[in-house]
Protein backbone atom coordinates (compact mmCIF):
# COMPACT_ATOMS: atom_id res chain seq x y z
CA UNK A 1 0.00 0.00 0.00
CA UNK A 2 1.34 3.45 -0.91
CA UNK A 3 2.21 5.72 1.99
CA UNK A 4 0.77 9.21 1.58
CA UNK A 5 2.52 12.10 3.26
CA UNK A 6 0.24 14.74 4.77
CA UNK A 7 1.22 18.07 6.27
CA UNK A 8 -1.41 19.10 8.82
CA UNK A 9 -1.65 22.82 9.53
CA UNK A 10 -4.43 23.30 12.12
CA UNK A 11 -3.81 27.07 12.36
CA UNK A 12 -5.80 29.38 14.64
CA UNK A 13 -9.16 29.68 16.36
CA UNK A 14 -11.35 26.64 15.76
CA UNK A 15 -8.72 25.21 13.36
CA UNK A 16 -7.12 22.84 15.92
CA UNK A 17 -10.53 21.63 17.18
CA UNK A 18 -11.85 20.68 13.76
CA UNK A 19 -8.45 19.24 12.74
CA UNK A 20 -8.62 16.92 15.75
CA UNK A 21 -11.60 15.23 14.08
CA UNK A 22 -9.59 14.64 10.90
CA UNK A 23 -6.79 13.17 13.01
CA UNK A 24 -9.29 10.82 14.62
CA UNK A 25 -10.40 9.64 11.17
CA UNK A 26 -6.81 9.25 9.90
CA UNK A 27 -5.87 7.22 12.98
CA UNK A 28 -8.76 4.85 12.30
CA UNK A 29 -7.94 4.51 8.57
CA UNK A 30 -4.32 3.67 9.46
CA UNK A 31 -5.28 1.25 12.24
CA UNK A 32 -7.69 -0.61 9.98
CA UNK A 33 -5.18 -0.76 7.15
CA UNK A 34 -7.65 1.02 4.85
CA UNK A 35 -4.99 3.58 3.96
CA UNK A 36 -1.52 4.53 5.04
CA UNK A 37 -1.05 8.18 5.98
CA UNK A 38 2.10 9.62 7.47
CA UNK A 39 1.33 12.97 9.08
CA UNK A 40 3.37 15.86 10.32
CA UNK A 41 2.03 18.97 12.10
CA UNK A 42 3.10 22.53 11.32
CA UNK A 43 2.25 26.14 12.15
CA UNK A 44 0.55 28.70 9.93
CA UNK A 45 -1.15 32.01 10.69
CA UNK A 46 -1.23 33.68 14.09
CA UNK A 47 0.25 30.68 15.90
CA UNK A 48 3.24 30.80 13.57
CA UNK A 49 3.62 34.53 14.23
CA UNK A 50 3.60 33.88 17.97
CA UNK A 51 6.32 31.25 17.61
CA UNK A 52 8.49 32.69 14.82
CA UNK A 53 7.28 36.25 14.04
CA UNK A 54 6.20 35.23 10.53
CA UNK A 55 2.86 33.88 9.25
CA UNK A 56 4.64 30.81 7.90
CA UNK A 57 8.31 29.82 7.98
CA UNK A 58 10.36 28.84 4.92
CA UNK A 59 10.77 25.44 6.53
CA UNK A 60 7.01 24.90 6.72
CA UNK A 61 6.60 26.00 3.08
CA UNK A 62 9.28 23.44 2.15
CA UNK A 63 7.40 20.75 4.11
CA UNK A 64 4.21 21.72 2.26
CA UNK A 65 5.98 21.36 -1.09
CA UNK A 66 7.34 17.96 -0.13
CA UNK A 67 4.02 16.61 1.16
CA UNK A 68 1.53 14.75 -1.04
CA UNK A 69 -1.17 17.07 0.31
CA UNK A 70 -1.59 19.84 2.87
CA UNK A 71 -4.63 19.83 5.16
CA UNK A 72 -5.29 23.25 6.70
CA UNK A 73 -7.72 24.35 9.43
CA UNK A 74 -8.11 28.13 9.53
CA UNK A 75 -6.02 31.24 10.14
CA UNK A 76 -6.53 34.60 11.82
CA UNK A 77 -8.18 36.27 14.76
CA UNK A 78 -8.40 39.63 16.55
CA UNK A 79 -5.32 38.77 18.63
CA UNK A 80 -3.19 39.52 15.56
CA UNK A 81 -4.99 42.65 14.33
CA UNK A 82 -1.96 44.81 15.03
CA UNK A 83 0.89 42.65 13.70
CA UNK A 84 2.83 44.01 10.69
CA UNK A 85 0.84 43.63 7.42
CA UNK A 86 3.30 41.17 5.88
CA UNK A 87 3.15 38.96 8.96
CA UNK A 88 -0.64 38.95 9.37
CA UNK A 89 -2.09 35.42 9.66
CA UNK A 90 -3.71 35.51 6.19
CA UNK A 91 -0.29 36.12 4.63
CA UNK A 92 0.68 32.55 5.55
CA UNK A 93 -2.21 31.10 3.62
CA UNK A 94 -1.67 33.42 0.65
CA UNK A 95 2.02 32.46 0.53
CA UNK A 96 1.15 28.76 0.51
CA UNK A 97 -1.29 29.31 -2.37
CA UNK A 98 1.29 31.34 -4.32
CA UNK A 99 4.42 29.27 -3.63
CA UNK A 100 2.67 25.97 -4.36
CA UNK A 101 0.94 27.56 -7.41
CA UNK A 102 -2.47 26.40 -6.24
CA UNK A 103 -4.35 28.28 -8.93
CA UNK A 104 -7.58 26.26 -8.90
CA UNK A 105 -9.85 26.49 -5.88
CA UNK A 106 -12.79 24.08 -5.91
CA UNK A 107 -15.63 24.95 -3.55
CA UNK A 108 -18.57 22.56 -3.78
CA UNK A 109 -21.83 23.77 -2.22
CA UNK A 110 -24.04 20.80 -1.49
CA UNK A 111 -27.24 21.03 0.50
CA UNK A 112 -27.82 17.84 2.51
CA UNK A 113 -31.58 17.13 2.55
CA UNK A 114 -31.63 17.17 6.36
CA UNK A 115 -30.28 20.73 6.37
CA UNK A 116 -32.59 22.32 3.83
CA UNK A 117 -34.45 24.00 6.69
CA UNK A 118 -31.25 25.41 8.22
CA UNK A 119 -30.61 27.57 5.18
CA UNK A 120 -31.74 31.17 5.27
CA UNK A 121 -33.56 30.40 2.01
CA UNK A 122 -36.71 28.36 1.59
CA UNK A 123 -36.39 24.55 1.41
CA UNK A 124 -37.56 24.32 -2.20
CA UNK A 125 -34.90 26.80 -3.33
CA UNK A 126 -31.96 24.87 -1.84
CA UNK A 127 -33.07 21.25 -1.42
CA UNK A 128 -30.85 18.98 -3.53
CA UNK A 129 -28.47 21.81 -4.41
CA UNK A 130 -25.12 20.62 -5.79
CA UNK A 131 -22.97 23.31 -7.37
CA UNK A 132 -19.23 23.73 -7.75
CA UNK A 133 -17.57 27.12 -7.58
CA UNK A 134 -14.18 27.19 -9.28
CA UNK A 135 -12.29 30.21 -8.00
CA UNK A 136 -9.02 31.38 -9.56
CA UNK A 137 -6.67 31.52 -6.57
CA UNK A 138 -3.21 32.85 -7.42
CA UNK A 139 -3.93 35.91 -9.55
CA UNK A 140 -6.18 38.92 -9.70
CA UNK A 141 -6.44 41.76 -7.24
CA UNK A 142 -5.24 39.78 -4.21
CA UNK A 143 -1.77 39.44 -5.71
CA UNK A 144 -1.48 42.12 -8.44
CA UNK A 145 1.24 44.77 -8.24
CA UNK A 146 1.37 47.64 -7.45
CA UNK A 147 -0.32 47.13 -4.12
CA UNK A 148 0.39 50.21 -2.05
CA UNK A 149 -0.84 52.96 0.23
CA UNK A 150 0.91 56.28 -0.51
CA UNK A 151 0.77 59.47 1.48
CA UNK A 152 -0.13 62.24 -0.95
CA UNK A 153 1.13 64.88 1.45
CA UNK A 154 -2.07 66.95 1.44
CA UNK A 155 -3.78 65.07 4.22
CA UNK A 156 -4.87 62.44 1.75
CA UNK A 157 -3.63 58.93 1.19
CA UNK A 158 -4.04 56.80 -1.92
CA UNK A 159 -4.56 53.05 -1.83
CA UNK A 160 -3.92 50.94 -4.90
CA UNK A 161 -4.72 47.30 -5.55
CA UNK A 162 -4.16 45.92 -9.02
CA UNK A 163 -6.53 43.54 -10.77
CA UNK A 164 -4.45 41.73 -13.35
CA UNK A 165 -4.92 38.56 -15.40
CA UNK A 166 -2.85 37.07 -18.21
CA UNK A 167 -4.34 34.82 -20.88
CA UNK A 168 -2.67 31.65 -19.56
CA UNK A 169 -4.13 32.15 -16.09
CA UNK A 170 -7.65 32.35 -17.47
CA UNK A 171 -7.08 29.44 -19.85
CA UNK A 172 -5.93 27.03 -17.18
CA UNK A 173 -8.72 27.83 -14.72
CA UNK A 174 -11.31 27.60 -17.53
CA UNK A 175 -9.99 24.13 -18.42
CA UNK A 176 -10.37 22.99 -14.81
CA UNK A 177 -13.99 24.20 -14.81
CA UNK A 178 -14.88 22.58 -18.15
CA UNK A 179 -13.22 19.29 -17.15
CA UNK A 180 -15.21 19.21 -13.92
CA UNK A 181 -18.45 20.02 -15.73
CA UNK A 182 -17.97 17.03 -18.01
CA UNK A 183 -18.08 14.77 -14.94
CA UNK A 184 -21.15 16.59 -13.57
CA UNK A 185 -24.10 18.17 -15.40
CA UNK A 186 -22.03 19.54 -18.24
CA UNK A 187 -22.67 23.24 -17.72
CA UNK A 188 -20.26 26.10 -16.93
CA UNK A 189 -21.28 29.62 -15.96
CA UNK A 190 -18.43 32.13 -16.18
CA UNK A 191 -18.76 35.27 -14.04
CA UNK A 192 -16.91 38.57 -14.45
CA UNK A 193 -17.61 42.31 -14.82
CA UNK A 194 -16.84 42.91 -18.49
CA UNK A 195 -19.18 45.92 -18.43
CA UNK A 196 -16.69 47.90 -16.27
CA UNK A 197 -13.40 45.98 -16.11
CA UNK A 198 -10.78 45.23 -18.77
CA UNK A 199 -9.89 42.07 -16.89
CA UNK A 200 -13.55 41.08 -17.23
CA UNK A 201 -13.41 41.60 -20.99
CA UNK A 202 -10.33 39.42 -21.33
CA UNK A 203 -11.78 36.81 -18.95
CA UNK A 204 -14.91 36.54 -21.08
CA UNK A 205 -12.93 36.37 -24.32
CA UNK A 206 -10.49 33.69 -23.15
CA UNK A 207 -13.14 31.47 -21.54
CA UNK A 208 -15.10 31.66 -24.80
CA UNK A 209 -12.00 30.73 -26.83
CA UNK A 210 -11.15 27.75 -24.62
CA UNK A 211 -14.76 26.62 -24.93
CA UNK A 212 -14.76 26.93 -28.73
CA UNK A 213 -11.52 25.12 -29.27
CA UNK A 214 -11.61 22.38 -26.59
CA UNK A 215 -14.99 22.01 -24.90
CA UNK A 216 -17.75 22.53 -27.47
CA UNK A 217 -19.70 19.66 -25.88
CA UNK A 218 -20.10 21.58 -22.58
CA UNK A 219 -22.78 24.24 -22.23
CA UNK A 220 -21.24 27.66 -21.52
CA UNK A 221 -23.06 30.68 -20.16
CA UNK A 222 -21.73 34.10 -19.11
CA UNK A 223 -23.15 36.18 -16.27
CA UNK A 224 -22.03 39.49 -14.82
CA UNK A 225 -20.75 38.74 -11.32
CA UNK A 226 -23.17 41.08 -9.53
CA UNK A 227 -26.19 39.64 -11.24
CA UNK A 228 -24.68 36.18 -10.78
CA UNK A 229 -24.63 36.80 -7.03
CA UNK A 230 -28.29 37.72 -7.18
CA UNK A 231 -29.08 34.57 -9.18
CA UNK A 232 -27.20 32.48 -6.62
CA UNK A 233 -29.74 33.36 -3.95
CA UNK A 234 -32.71 33.61 -6.31
CA UNK A 235 -32.46 30.31 -8.19
CA UNK A 236 -29.20 28.56 -7.20
CA UNK A 237 -30.11 25.24 -8.80
CA UNK A 238 -29.73 26.78 -12.30
CA UNK A 239 -25.94 26.42 -11.83
CA UNK A 240 -23.63 23.46 -12.19
CA UNK A 241 -20.04 24.78 -12.31
CA UNK A 242 -19.33 28.48 -11.79
CA UNK A 243 -15.89 29.75 -12.83
CA UNK A 244 -14.75 33.15 -11.67
CA UNK A 245 -11.76 35.19 -10.55
CA UNK A 246 -10.11 35.37 -7.14
CA UNK A 247 -12.11 38.28 -5.66
CA UNK A 248 -15.54 37.39 -7.04
CA UNK A 249 -14.93 33.74 -6.14
CA UNK A 250 -14.13 34.68 -2.55
CA UNK A 251 -17.42 36.56 -2.22
CA UNK A 252 -19.65 34.26 -4.25
CA UNK A 253 -18.46 31.15 -2.40
CA UNK A 254 -19.36 32.62 0.98
CA UNK A 255 -22.83 33.34 -0.42
CA UNK A 256 -23.07 29.81 -1.78
CA UNK A 257 -22.05 28.46 1.62
CA UNK A 258 -25.14 29.91 3.26
CA UNK A 259 -27.31 28.06 0.75
CA UNK A 260 -26.09 24.83 2.32
CA UNK A 261 -27.27 25.79 5.80
CA UNK A 262 -24.04 27.00 7.36
CA UNK A 263 -20.56 28.22 6.49
CA UNK A 264 -19.46 25.25 8.60
CA UNK A 265 -20.52 22.88 5.81
CA UNK A 266 -18.35 24.04 2.90
CA UNK A 267 -15.04 22.30 2.07
CA UNK A 268 -12.47 23.34 -0.50
CA UNK A 269 -9.59 22.00 -2.54
CA UNK A 270 -6.81 24.18 -3.91
CA UNK A 271 -4.96 22.47 -6.71
CA UNK A 272 -1.90 23.14 -8.83
CA UNK A 273 -1.10 21.83 -12.28
CA UNK A 274 -0.32 18.15 -12.70
CA UNK A 275 3.38 17.59 -13.35
CA UNK A 276 3.47 15.68 -16.67
CA UNK A 277 6.63 13.80 -15.61
CA UNK A 278 5.72 12.67 -12.09
CA UNK A 279 1.92 12.91 -12.34
CA UNK A 280 2.08 14.76 -9.01
CA UNK A 281 -0.17 17.71 -8.27
CA UNK A 282 0.34 20.16 -5.40
CA UNK A 283 -2.79 20.34 -3.29
CA UNK A 284 -4.11 22.00 -0.17
CA UNK A 285 -7.47 21.23 1.42
CA UNK A 286 -9.24 23.56 3.84
CA UNK A 287 -12.73 24.42 5.00
CA UNK A 288 -14.12 27.68 3.60
CA UNK A 289 -15.12 28.87 7.08
CA UNK A 290 -12.60 30.96 8.95
CA UNK A 291 -11.11 30.63 12.42
CA UNK A 292 -14.31 31.80 14.19
CA UNK A 293 -12.45 33.24 17.19
CA UNK A 294 -15.75 33.97 18.97
CA UNK A 295 -16.45 30.27 19.46
CA UNK A 296 -12.88 28.94 19.51
CA UNK A 297 -11.89 26.55 22.27
CA UNK A 298 -15.47 25.90 23.35
CA UNK A 299 -16.19 22.72 21.43
CA UNK A 300 -18.93 24.48 19.47
CA UNK A 301 -17.41 24.36 15.99
CA UNK A 302 -18.89 22.27 13.22
CA UNK A 303 -16.24 19.79 11.97
CA UNK A 304 -18.15 18.80 8.81
CA UNK A 305 -16.38 21.17 6.37
CA UNK A 306 -12.99 20.08 7.75
CA UNK A 307 -13.90 16.41 7.37
CA UNK A 308 -15.26 16.86 3.86
CA UNK A 309 -12.13 18.86 2.96
CA UNK A 310 -10.16 15.75 3.94
CA UNK A 311 -12.68 13.81 1.82
CA UNK A 312 -11.74 16.05 -1.12
CA UNK A 313 -8.08 15.13 -0.49
CA UNK A 314 -9.03 11.46 -0.74
CA UNK A 315 -10.89 12.18 -3.99
CA UNK A 316 -8.51 14.54 -5.79
CA UNK A 317 -5.07 13.59 -4.43
CA UNK A 318 -5.31 9.90 -3.56
CA UNK A 319 -7.85 8.40 -5.93
CA UNK A 320 -9.97 7.19 -3.01
CA UNK A 321 -13.28 8.55 -4.24
CA UNK A 322 -15.24 5.66 -2.77
CA UNK A 323 -13.98 6.39 0.72
CA UNK A 324 -14.85 10.07 0.20
CA UNK A 325 -18.36 8.98 -0.81
CA UNK A 326 -18.58 6.96 2.41
CA UNK A 327 -17.65 10.05 4.46
CA UNK A 328 -20.37 12.05 2.67
CA UNK A 329 -22.93 9.30 3.26
CA UNK A 330 -21.95 9.07 6.93
CA UNK A 331 -22.42 12.82 7.36
CA UNK A 332 -25.81 12.71 5.63
CA UNK A 333 -26.92 9.91 7.92
CA UNK A 334 -25.70 11.64 11.11
CA UNK A 335 -27.58 14.77 10.04
CA UNK A 336 -30.65 12.66 9.28
CA UNK A 337 -30.57 11.37 12.83
CA UNK A 338 -30.81 14.97 14.02
CA UNK A 339 -27.31 15.06 15.49
CA UNK A 340 -26.12 18.63 14.98
CA UNK A 341 -23.60 21.23 16.08
CA UNK A 342 -25.13 24.52 17.21
CA UNK A 343 -24.77 26.30 13.86
CA UNK A 344 -27.11 23.82 12.11
CA UNK A 345 -29.46 22.94 14.95
CA UNK A 346 -33.16 22.78 14.26
CA UNK A 347 -36.26 21.87 16.21
CA UNK A 348 -35.97 18.45 17.78
CA UNK A 349 -32.28 18.04 16.90
CA UNK A 350 -29.69 16.90 19.42
CA UNK A 351 -26.99 19.56 19.78
CA UNK A 352 -23.55 18.05 20.28
CA UNK A 353 -19.98 19.28 20.64
CA UNK A 354 -17.30 19.30 17.93
CA UNK A 355 -15.78 16.05 19.13
CA UNK A 356 -19.15 14.34 19.63
CA UNK A 357 -20.04 15.25 16.06
CA UNK A 358 -16.71 13.90 14.81
CA UNK A 359 -17.21 10.72 16.82
CA UNK A 360 -20.75 10.23 15.51
CA UNK A 361 -19.54 10.64 11.92
CA UNK A 362 -16.67 8.19 12.45
CA UNK A 363 -19.05 5.62 13.98
CA UNK A 364 -21.26 5.94 10.94
CA UNK A 365 -18.25 5.56 8.61
CA UNK A 366 -17.32 2.41 10.52
CA UNK A 367 -20.85 1.05 10.19
CA UNK A 368 -20.92 1.78 6.45
CA UNK A 369 -17.50 0.26 6.00
CA UNK A 370 -18.26 -2.97 7.88
C1 LIG B 1 -10.87 32.34 1.86
C2 LIG B 1 -10.46 33.33 2.89
C3 LIG B 1 -9.12 33.92 2.49
C4 LIG B 1 -9.29 34.64 1.18
C5 LIG B 1 -8.46 34.83 3.52
C6 LIG B 1 -8.32 34.15 4.87
C7 LIG B 1 -7.15 35.37 3.04
O8 LIG B 1 -11.43 34.30 3.06
O9 LIG B 1 -10.15 31.35 1.66
O10 LIG B 1 -11.91 32.54 1.22
O11 LIG B 1 -9.72 35.80 1.16
O12 LIG B 1 -9.01 34.05 0.16
MN1 LIG C 1 -13.21 33.99 1.85
**pLDDT score recorded for residue 216:** 98
**pLDDT score recorded for residue 262:** 86
Name the 3-class secondary structure at 53.
coil
For the Cβ of 90 lying below 6 angstroms from any atom of ligand 1, the answer is yes
pLDDT digits over 125-149, tens only? 999 999 999 999 999 999 999 999 9
Q: Is 99 a catalytic residue?
A: no
8-state DSSP, 275:
P
List the domains of the chain with CATH numbers. Answer: 1-105+266-370 (3.40.718.10), 130-259 (3.40.718.10)
pLDDT digits over 58-76, tens only? 999 999 999 999 999 999 9
* Separation of alpha carbons 135 and 142, rounded Å: 12
For the Cβ of 250 lying below 6 angstroms from any atom of ligand 1, the answer is yes
8-state DSSP, 38:
E
**pLDDT score recorded for residue 103:** 98
**pLDDT score recorded for residue 39:** 98
C-alpha pair distances (Å), 275 with each of 3, 272, 281: 19, 9, 6
**pLDDT score recorded for residue 142:** 97
Average pLDDT over residues 225-231: 98
**pLDDT score recorded for residue 53:** 98
Q: Are 131 and 86 in contact (CB under 8 A)?
A: no
Q: Which residues surround ligand 2, an ion (CB under 5 A)?
A: 250
Go through the chain and tell me how many residues it has. 370
What is the DSSP code string of 300-361? ----HHHHHHHHHHHHHTSS-HHHHHHHHHHHHHHHHTTEE-GGG--TT-EE--HHHHHHHH
Q: Is 166 a catalytic residue?
A: no
Q: What is the percent of the chain where pLDDT is above 90?
A: 95
pLDDT digits over 149-205, tens only? 999 999 999 999 999 999 999 999 999 999 999 999 999 999 999 999 999 999 999
Amino acid sequence: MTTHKLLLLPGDGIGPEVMAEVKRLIAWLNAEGIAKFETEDGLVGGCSYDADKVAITDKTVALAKAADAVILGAVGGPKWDKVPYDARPEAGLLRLRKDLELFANLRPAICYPALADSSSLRREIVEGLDIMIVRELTGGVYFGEPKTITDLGNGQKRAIDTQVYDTYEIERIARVAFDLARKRRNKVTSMEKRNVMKSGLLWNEVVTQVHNSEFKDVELEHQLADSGGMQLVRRPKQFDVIVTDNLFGDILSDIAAMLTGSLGMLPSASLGATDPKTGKRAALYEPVHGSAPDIAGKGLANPVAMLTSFGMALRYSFDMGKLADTIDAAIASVLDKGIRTGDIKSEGSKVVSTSEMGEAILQEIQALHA
